[in-house]
Homo-oligomer: A and B are copies of this chain.
Amino acid sequence: MKFRISSTGFYVPPDIETAEDLSARVGRSVEWIRSRTGVEHRHVARIPDGTLLGAEAARQALGDGPPPDLVINGSGLPRQVIPDNSTFLLDALGLEGIPCFTVHATCLSFLVGLKVATSMLGASFSRILLVSAEVTSVGRDFNEPESCVLLGDGASAAVIYSANDQVASELLFWDMETWPSGADLATVKGGGTLLHPNRPDAKLEEQLFHMSGPRIYRFAREKVEGLLQKLWNETGLSASDIDLVVPHQASGPALAALPRYGFPEEKIVNIVGEYGNCVAASLPMALHVALDTGRIHKGDKVLLIGTGAGLSVAAALLRW
């Protein structure tokens, strides 16, 4: 179905934590934090509910336009187990009586939501609101410096609508690969049925985010290379044909590695220093910033790409 992203929205909560603020707490120097994560500061929410951040971004994306006929929450972290976050997004936006659901693929939830949304446009739906919003700060493990100084809270939203040929964008490529041998590399092991808090031996650390940055980096490097090879083979394009790369903001080092695939640094949107890694919200936040600063023009080839817990890699190539 022909589609176009008509508008996007962006929201971060006002409170900021800097690398300096966290340095003493985690027992690492500011320089250590900068070199390992590239994160100078991040925004943190006072109320740990991603749907409140998401609703702010959604209001901005919806603007004065008509209401959506479907709302998809594309986020990794739930506000609660049941109902899913999309119900609370509807509530905060004053919407009711329309379909809504959550798509969860951790950091790749926006990329998956985009594929789902563009597939669903057509007879049933003509205007889909896709929201990625995360509160990571509440689940940080301050005994694991490498992850807790990386994460941030934030939200983004996009309105995707059925467009006529003249204005439509095109999804030239979409693919995702999940490699369960990397399932232990980035986890929140609690919050579900397996390590249920009603076990007598439940531990708080099970409910916190853990990752092994260096192992993810090595694992992802190989998988991203394979995925890009698939992209070039299927489209006949090469890295030099890409006008802008909008990556998941995994970390400073992860973003710094992208030029090895042939993308010049000036074509890579990098906001990790200001906002940290906001899980699924990072990629659409970067997309919003790119649009807002005039870095995307009609017809541009825009590559959305990222890695996520799973371990998964995914990419979408849009002719804007």
Query: Looking at the complex, which one of B83, B98, B99, B197 makes contact with A204 (CB distance below 8 Å)?
Result: B197
Q: How many copies does the complex hold?
A: 2
**Residue in chain B with minimal CB distance to A174:** B124
Query: Judging by beta carbons under 8 Å apart, are B48 and A193 in contact?
Result: yes
Which chain B residues lie closer than 8 Å to A312 at the CB level? Answer: 83, 87, 99-100
Query: How many residues of chain A have a CB within 8 Å of chain B?
Result: 73
**Residue in chain B with minimal CB distance to A191:** B81
The distance from the CB of A221 to the nearest CB of chain B, in whole angstroms, is 16
The distance from the CB of A122 to the nearest CB of chain B, in whole angstroms, is 8
Residue among A76, A194, A196 having the largest count of chain B Cβ atoms under 10 Å: A194
Mask: chain A, 85-99; 1 = CB below 8 Å from B; 0 = not: 011101100011111
Query: Judging by beta carbons under 8 Å apart, are A98 and B178 in contact?
Result: yes
On whether A191 and B191 interact (CB within 8 A), knowing A181-B96, A309-B87, the answer reads yes
Residue among A48, A112, A180 having the largest count of chain B Cβ atoms under 10 Å: A180
**Residue in chain B with minimal CB distance to A80:** B192
Q: Is A28 an interface residue (CB 8 A)?
A: no
Query: Looking at the complex, which one of B87, B181, B187 makes contact with A80 (CB distance below 8 Å)?
Result: B187
Query: Judging by beta carbons under 8 Å apart, are B106 and A178 in contact?
Result: no
Mask: chain A, 192-230; 1 = CB below 8 Å from B; 0 = not: 111111100000100111000000000000000000000
Query: Judging by beta carbons under 8 Å apart, are A83 and B193 in contact?
Result: no
Which chain B residues lie closer than 8 Å to A192 at the CB level? Answer: 77-81, 191
- In the A-B complex, list the 7 residue pairs whose CB atoms are closest, starting with the nearest: A91-B180, A99-B176, A81-B188, A81-B191, A78-B192, A101-B105, A83-B309
